[in-house]
Structure 1
Amino acid sequence: MIRQFDTIAYDNRLRTIRPEQKVIFAFLLLMMAMIGSWKTQVMITIWLAAWIIGYARVSWKVYAKTLGVVALFLMASFPALLVSIDSSFHVSIDRSQISTVMSLLSRSVAAWSCLFFLLVTTPFPEMLYVFKRMKVPSIIIDLLFFTYRFVFVFEKAAEELYVAMKARNGGGHWRHGGMLVFQLFQKIWHSYEALRLALWARGVSNEIVYVHMETYNEKNKRYLWEAAIGISLLLWLG
């Protein structure tokens, strides 16, 4: 799925908008989602869904599948907030925490919408270029770059090992799972060593240089105006 998101980031209809504008737009909405009311958070979620599915032309199935994964992750954390166990092991639901859980749900989904919008509309190298222009420390940018790369390495290695185990009639015993995890981390470590040696051989010692390809359209002002009007309305209604 990670590779699918990366492909969408290069092929979506908002690709021609300046990455600076998309980064600023997403982070402004993220700050509003963090400090705003639940009404503001719901409006942000709905509005960004319209941007992602309607303007960027991202498949609604991809959006729904990703939102479902996020919802499952959030629901898995709710019992720790709602369920209480006393000294006699009596299980009860703390109704006073329901409002807190609902607030956490709306804020988390709104924050995810902001970051997902950025993920599927802006290629990651362009985001790093914007962060560099914003004077973000180089160590943070390099850490983001290596994390981004090794997510793909991790996914590919896991897929290859899983297919290899199935091809060799690998069973479902927990020892087979432990062997798979061990081999996975071995492959990740070898990939890291190969990358380190490749960078060292090319003389990369201090920081990585990010080349920005200008593919945006200067004449496209519609989305900029719509973003400005929408943020103004959210501030007024919130």
Structure 2
Amino acid sequence: MKYNLDYIAHNNKLRIVNPKLKILYTFLTLIISLFSKNIFVPFIAFLVSSYLIIFRARVPVKIYLYLLLPAIAFALFNLIFMSFWYGKIVIFKIFFITFKLEGLKQGILIFFRILGGVSTMLFLALTTPIIELFYVLRRYLPKEFIDIALMMYKFIFDLLDTFLTMKNAQETRLGYKDVKTSYKSLGMLMSNLFIRTYEKSEKVYISMASRGYDGDIRILTELPNLKLKNLFIVLLFEFLLALLALTLPPLL
């Protein structure tokens, strides 16, 4: 796939920005948005993150919307569910469903929090290669945790590649021509997929051990320089965002 996350992370206009700066922006913006009582703060985070993704990083709009729409759908479902489940003051009633004021307010706030939080996380995922994230986080988190995450990330793609290869082979042999055959083929696929993946993991470990693996995965990468101008802009934005979160009263 040409436009997968890993490809976009390596081929965007913000690729040359230091990953520490992007992690700092993501972490601070996410925390401020989640703890804000006003919907304007997470909405500003959504607008800024969307601007950086689309106009600065030049990520295709279709890809960004494709990743964002499931979060929006979940947020809308949460908004509707909380509107008739949470609170006591009734706004209106449709058939047997009663919509309540407290639930509507809380649902709208959570909707904007999800919107701001997901767009901020997508900014980090779409502009920063995963190997650079692990390289930075390795300095602040236990290396065992990072090594496990790195191996999990690798085997996700191995698992997906094996799954697609086996599924394509089944489809060329009419393995999904009807419901009964589809269930049988799917069962064979799942059982063989586990065995193939386990065998591949054993081969990877043997190959690593034969090359001197001693329990420490060394990540070799060169990070771009951190520009003070960009750091100042990020800190100024986070300060203004936090100031808005502290001073603005709850809108709803």
TM-score range (shorter-chain normalised) is: 0.7 to 0.9
Aligned residue type for 2:45 = I
Match of residue 36 from structure 2 = 36
Gap runs ≥5 in structure 2: 86-94, 246-252
> In the superposition, relative to structure 1, how do residues 79 and 184 fare at CA in structure 2: closer, same or farther (>3 Å)?
farther
Gap runs ≥5 in structure 1: 85-89
1:226 to 230, 233, 241: 233
How far is the alpha carbon of 1:217 from its aligned partner? 5.2
1:163 to 151, 165, 168: 168
Aligned residue type for 2:23 = V
1:185 to 178, 194, 199: 194
Give the TM-score normalised by structure 2.
0.79
Task: Work out the CA distance in 2 between the residues paired with 1:74 and 1:150.
Answer: 30
The answer to whether structure 1 residue 66 and structure 2 residue 67 are counterparts is: yes
Identity, % of aligned pairs?
24
Once superposed, what is the RMSD of the aligned Cα atoms? 2.6
Match of residue 46 from structure 1 = 47
Cα deviation per residue 1:84-130 (whole Å; 9 max; x = unaligned)?
Answer: 6xxxxx97456343333333322222222222111111111111111
Match of residue 109 from structure 2 = 103
Contact 1:3/1:152, CA 8 A, preserved across alignment: no
Task: Work out the CA distance in 1 between the residues paired with 2:73 and 2:168.
Answer: 26
How far is the alpha carbon of 1:62 from its aligned partner? 0.5
Task: Work out the CA distance in 2 between the residues paired with 1:185 and 1:131.
Answer: 30
How far is the alpha carbon of 1:229 from its aligned partner? 2.9
Match of residue 57 from structure 1 = 58
Cα deviation per residue 1:136-157 (whole Å; 9 max; x = unaligned)?
Answer: 1112111210121122122212
Match of residue 27 from structure 1 = 27
Task: Work out the CA distance in 1 between the residues paired with 2:76 and 2:159.
Answer: 26
Match of residue 13 from structure 2 = 13
1:118 to 80, 105, 124: 124
> In the superposition, relative to structure 1, how do residues 181 and 76 fare at CA in structure 2: closer, same or farther (>3 Å)?
farther
> In the superposition, relative to structure 1, how do residues 196 and 121 fare at CA in structure 2: closer, same or farther (>3 Å)?
same
Alignment of 1:198-213 (within 5 A): 198-213=207-222
Contact 1:2/1:152, CA 8 A, preserved across alignment: no
How far is the alpha carbon of 1:19 from its aligned partner? 1.2
How far is the alpha carbon of 1:41 from its aligned partner? 0.9
Task: Work out the CA distance in 2 between the residues paired with 1:197 and 1:93.
Answer: 61
Task: Work out the CA distance in 2 between the residues paired with 1:132 and 1:7.
Answer: 23
Aligned residues: 230
